[in-house]
Amino acid sequence: MTRKPLDTGADLRELVERLYPLCRSITGDGVRATLEILGEHIPLDVHEVPTGTQVLDWTVPQEWNIRDAWVKDPAGRKVVDFRESNLHVVGYSVPVAETMPLAALREHLHTLPEQPSLVPYRTSYYSPTWGFCLAQDTLDALPDGDYEVRIESTLDDGHLTYAEHVVPGEVTDEVLVSCHTCHPSLANDNLAGIAVAAALAQRLAAGKPHFTYRFLFMPGTIGAITWLARNTERLGKVKAGVVLACAGDPGSLTYKRSRRGDAEIDKVLEFVLSGKPHKILDFSPYGYDERQFCSPGFNLGVGSLTRTPYAGYPEYHTSADNLDFVSTEAMEDTLATLGEAFSVLDRNRRYVNLSPYGEPQLGKRGLYDSLGGRSDAKAAQMAMLWVLNLSDGEHSLLDVAQRSGLPFDSVVAAAHALQGAGLLKE
């Protein structure tokens, strides 16, 4: 199968637009349809985990699907219509076919009084109930009387669906990139993240990465818990990871550290972000699935990259998180930043200086001659001296770049030259 490239911002935008209308939840056909479209761009290994499966302290729930839903006013007009927006129905609502007065219906209606023109996003995954979401302005205009209420949904034994994509590396040590697939028509949270992850996977596959990169597309919380439960024995291979979300809003990039606080991915993202507007947040056990990967029993070196963080923008979990809210430029910037971070992570090594007593003579090894004519000869020489001095098996090349203030690429080039001259070993 020929995969569709995601080479440009327009390609990212097109993917988000295709995924936007689908009604996703933590289970169901909307997730499968999302993964089917994603599979046009990258090959996916799709997993179906049966209802009732015990996963750590949780149980895979029943599968939820919905065909239609509406509320009709006393005149028979649809005042709330699932077909206009899938945000209108509370996720995991049980089936309903009733007629009731407005006073009784109000107990099942959700609005945002402080944002009266917007429709909220609400779910009730683990407490069987039903409800509708609508604009406060719409609710205020409803007349008294009897309302016809329909939710044509099913809650049956089925499966939780998630997918993996693996970019093989020179080593089997892995870097995780995780995105959640459980949100319906919310463009930034998290369709932009899905699109950026798919494009990043394509770019990594076009090169020859050192690490193996495993991309996870799964529902929030229960999906990560399920994946962890099914992969506990191989988590020792996970050397780093990033939970990617909210990748397309106009805010500056924000990195949330892993629970460790000083994991290699923490240092890499802080280094890469230092040259642009950004925020760094300490870990907290609230947010996206970094809290599952960083639970104390696993304590993986996994951080979270967003633009504006969880719940940090007015459009969050509302109908205003639409296609107009997502910026092509923001998605491109997120993609470029992650690409740069993984380029640093992939090449970061620790070396041992094989001639640590005094400064080794570089000239007789031809290392000075190799710099002749280079416009950056002095910087390259300084990079060699810094690499030699800090190559004690404890400092990485990233440590060298940070301490010396030299570009990471110059430090890597110096290490390769010194290794080739027999002065370093990895």
pLDDT tier for residue 380 given thresholds of 50, 70 and 90: confident
Considering the domain architecture, whether residues 167 and 226 belong to the same structural domain is answered as yes
Considering the domain architecture, whether residues 281 and 378 belong to the same structural domain is answered as no
Dihedrals phi, psi of 353, to nearest 5 degrees: -75, 120
Greatest Cα pair distance, the chain, in angstroms, is 95
Report how far residue 259's alpha carbon sits from residue 294's, in angstroms, rounded to the nearest whole number. 6
Domain that holds residue 32: 9-61+159-346
Looking up tokens 């988000």 gives 16
CATH number, position 387: 1.10.10.10
Calculate the average pLDDT of the chain.
96
Considering the domain architecture, whether residues 172 and 285 belong to the same structural domain is answered as yes
**pLDDT tens-digit readout, 299-358:** 999 999 999 998 999 999 999 999 999 999 999 999 999 999 999 999 999 999 999 999
Mean pLDDT, to the nearest integer, of 163-179?
A: 98
Write the DSSP symbol of residue 156. Answer: E
In-domain check, residue 337: yes
β-sheet with 174-180: strand ranges across? 45-50, 159-167, 212-218, 174-180, 238-244, 302-306, 253-256, 278-281
CATH number, position 203: 3.40.630.10
CA–CA distance from 292 to each of 119, 120, 258 (Å)?
Answer: 29, 26, 11
Pick from 186, 149, 144, 150: which is nearest to 30 by CA?
186
| Adjacent-strand bridge partners of 88 | none
Q: In the chain, what percentage of residues exceed pLDDT 70?
A: 98
Q: 181 near 24, Cβ under 8 Å?
A: yes
Report how far residue 272's alpha carbon sits from residue 408's, in angstroms, rounded to the nearest whole number. 10
Considering the domain architecture, whether residues 129 and 265 belong to the same structural domain is answered as no
Considering the domain architecture, whether residues 139 and 267 belong to the same structural domain is answered as no
Number of H helices, E strands in the chain: 12, 19
The reported pLDDT for the residue numbered 242 is 98
Mean pLDDT, to the nearest integer, of 9-21?
A: 98
Considering the domain architecture, whether residues 258 and 169 belong to the same structural domain is answered as yes
Q: Which of 295, 320, 346 is the last residue of a domain?
A: 346
Mean pLDDT, to the nearest integer, of 186-207?
A: 97
Q: Which of 304, 328, 346 is the last residue of a domain?
A: 346
Considering the domain architecture, whether residues 360 and 400 belong to the same structural domain is answered as yes
Mean pLDDT, to the nearest integer, of 150-166?
A: 98
The reported pLDDT for the residue numbered 367 is 84
**Helix (H/G/I), strand (E/B), else coil: 282:** coil
In-domain check, residue 4: no
Report how far residue 259's alpha carbon sits from residue 33's, in angstroms, rounded to the nearest whole number. 34
Is the pLDDT at 371 greater than 80, yes or no?
no
- First CA to last CA across the chain, in angstroms? 40
Q: 162 near 216, Cβ under 8 Å?
A: yes
* HSE, side-chain direction, 13 A CA sphere, residue 13: 12
Mean pLDDT, to the nearest integer, of 288-305?
A: 98
CATH number, position 88: 3.50.30.90
| Adjacent-strand bridge partners of 169 | none
In-domain check, residue 342: yes
Mean pLDDT, to the nearest integer, of 181-193?
A: 97
Q: 146 near 184, Cβ under 8 Å?
A: no
Pick from 184, 223, 161, 186: which is nearest to 310 by CA?
186
Is the pLDDT at 33 greater than 80, yes or no?
yes
In-domain check, residue 2: no
The answer to which of 214-218, 315-319, 357-361 has the lowest mean pLDDT is: 357-361
Considering the domain architecture, whether residues 273 and 415 belong to the same structural domain is answered as no
Q: 322 near 362, Cβ under 8 Å?
A: no
Considering the domain architecture, whether residues 282 and 252 belong to the same structural domain is answered as yes
Q: Can you give the pTM of this predicted structure?
A: 0.96
The reported pLDDT for the residue numbered 364 is 87
In-domain check, residue 243: yes
**pLDDT tens-digit readout, 79-121:** 999 999 999 999 999 999 999 999 999 999 999 999 999 999 9
Is the pLDDT at 374 greater than 60, yes or no?
no
In-domain check, residue 3: no
Q: 130 near 105, Cβ under 8 Å?
A: no
Pick from 24, 29, 4, 23: which is nearest to 14 by CA?
4
CA–CA distance from 41 to each of 34, 193, 194, 339 (Å)?
Answer: 12, 15, 11, 18
In-domain check, residue 26: yes
Considering the domain architecture, whether residues 279 and 402 belong to the same structural domain is answered as no
Considering the domain architecture, whether residues 51 and 107 belong to the same structural domain is answered as no
Greater confidence (367 vs 274) lies with 274
In-domain check, residue 81: yes
Q: Which of 122, 156, 190 is the last residue of a domain?
A: 156
Mean pLDDT, to the nearest integer, of 126-138?
A: 97
Considering the domain architecture, whether residues 164 and 145 belong to the same structural domain is answered as no
Is the pLDDT at 365 greater than 90, yes or no?
no
Q: How many domains does the chain have?
A: 3
